[in-house]
Chains A and B, each alone.
Chain A
Amino acid sequence: ETGVTQTPRHLVMGMTNKKSLKCEQHLGHNAMYWYKQSAKKPLELMFVYNFKEQTENNSVPSRFSPECPNSSHLFLHLHTLQPEDSALYLCASSQAPSETQYFGPGTRLLVL
């Protein structure tokens, strides 16, 4: 599927690095989401954006900084991460909040 794309697909970073994850949706949706899936754990919602405005922050540490410049693009800026932040980071979009969400393929992050 090419509806929601994420780059990079894999990322290895040290604890002192700064990196960014990118998500782009080609579905004309207005809401975008970041989820985190750690090993053997269910997906956890991190952030919700609606029309570029953040509407939900699920108590995420400040070392994760989201950015939504427009309704089609969503970034997750990472800095001074910890090894326990290693996970699959998933982006999703929907026409409006609470409508059906469509997910990207995810970015597999490893923090050393």
Chain B
Amino acid sequence: DAKTTQPPSMDCAEGRAANLPCNHSTISGNEYVYWYRQIHSQGPQYIIHGLKNNETNEMASLIITEDRKSSTLILPHATLRDTAVYYCIVRVAPGGGADGLTFGKGTHLIIQP
């Protein structure tokens, strides 16, 4: 699976949009971009994933650049409960390789009141 690079920490004001960047310059054509978050000492929570088109669900939006070398997770109206470590993970499509997720250090997003 391709390696990802994320800033170690970010701050965002409550009520504003939180934009979390991720670089994955070595991504392959059959690799998806996944985002999870982990609130302190809890299990990781799945947020969203995509291949090359932008995706949106009830939690967030995922914007993937045209060359697929980077992406941005957008939380449109951040709340204090969004404070967590956010992980960007690149992995192959189903059946394409190792089945486990490779977690990095992620971005610690702190929502300020």
Which A residues are within 8 Å of any B CB, using their own CB? 4, 6, 31, 33, 35, 42-45, 48, 50, 55-56, 58, 88, 90, 92, 96-106, 108
Q: Is B68 positioned at the interface, with any CB of A under 8 Å from its CB?
A: no
> Which residue of the partner chain, among A43, A44, A97, A108, contacts B44 with CB atoms under 8 Å?
A43
> Which residue of the partner chain, among A4, A6, A43, A104, contacts B101 with CB atoms under 8 Å?
A43
Contact B100–A88 (Cβ < 8 Å): no
* Shortest CB distance B33–A (Å): 12
Produce 1/0 per residue, B90-103, CB < 8 A to A. Answer: 01111111111111
In chain B, residues 29-79, which have Cβ atoms closer than 8 Å to a Cβ of chain A? 34, 41-46, 49
Contact A58–B100 (Cβ < 8 Å): yes
Q: For the complex, count residues of B whose C-beta is within 8 A of A.
A: 24
| Contact A97 B34, CB 8 Å, known A43-B101, A45-B100, A90-B44 | no
Query: Chain A interface secondary structure, helix, strand, loop or mixed?
Result: strand
| Contact A48 B100, CB 8 Å, known A97-B94, A98-B95 | yes
A108-B98 Cα distance, complex, nearest whole Å? 26
Q: Which residues on the B side are within 8 Å of A106 (C-beta)?
A: 41-43
